[in-house]
Copies of this chain bind each other. A is one copy, B any other.
């Protein structure tokens, strides 16, 4: 797989509710080609970006799950810093239904008005955004305020094209290359050349689900089926699962069960309560249920 098609996740803030010295509040970045998508943008996200391998100026799409402060209060500062660095490219901000007014309001507080376009769009659960090389679908989350989870799906791509092989078989560079890449046979010097020899199997697009705050949800399990990665909140340890549910949250074991039921490849658990300094035991509880569970540290990265 060529490196330009790799998707990079950067866990900018893996803490829940309020920050701790170990973990900042919610934000995860997803980099695909030239795009940097942020899922949630808690207070301090711009500085986390500065500590990371990503540039805060590269962020062009921000997906907010809901309007609890630890998920969106980093938005105005990030946009202001972009502005002070002469940004001209637009930023797209997405949030659940009935949030555009608040989001617009908070990014124009005090004397600040961004000089670049900031487009704010409300999304209902089930909506699908179709971008160049990927789609983003929203899922109704089960939190105590209107919240949407996001499902990122890279579009399937054509198989790898073996250029050397094509030339070797006498295919001249040009339109016939494209035809073969589209899996059509071509004729060269009265010889039929079929794509099987030259074009690899279609490459399945990667899928990443980011839940934000939620109780375990069938809608999320359904949408996450076969995902490469699910980033599911797990605020509390299993002994506090009732308290978690009561506040619209999950415990780490619940996150693991969601991952298991959905049959995903990898589970990252975030929104860890600041009460936990050491998360080794929490991680073990999740792994007992779903082996490929991980509680990422802030600023850690994962390539898909």
Contacts and interface: CB of A to CB of B under 8 A. Distances in A.
Interface in A193-213: none
A18 B109 contact: no
A289 interface: no
A8 to B, nearest CB: 20
11 contacts: A18-B80, A18-B81, A18-B85, A19-B50, A20-B50, A43-B47, A43-B76, A68-B110, A69-B76, A69-B80, A106-B106
Given A67-B110, A80-B18, A46 B43 contact: yes
Contact of A77 (B47, B69, B111, B112): B69
A196 to B, nearest CB: 52
A104 B25 CA distance: 23
A17 interface: yes
Interface in A36-50: 43-44, 46-47, 50
Nearest to A23: B47
A110 B74 CA distance: 13
A11 interface: no
A223 to B, nearest CB: 25
Q: Output the residue of A25, A69, A74, A145 with the most chain B CB within 10 A.
A: A69
A21 interface: yes
A18 B110 CA distance: 15
Contacts of A268: none
A73 B72 contact: no
A15 B70 CA distance: 23
Interface residues of A, number: 34
Nearest to A47: B19
B46 A18 contact: yes
A43 B105 CA distance: 17
Contacts of A68: 110-112
Contacts of A105: 105, 109
A303 interface: no
Contacts of A20: 50
Contacts of A43: 43-44, 46-47, 73-74, 76-77
A112 to B, nearest CB: 6
A80 B25 CA distance: 12
A276 to B, nearest CB: 15
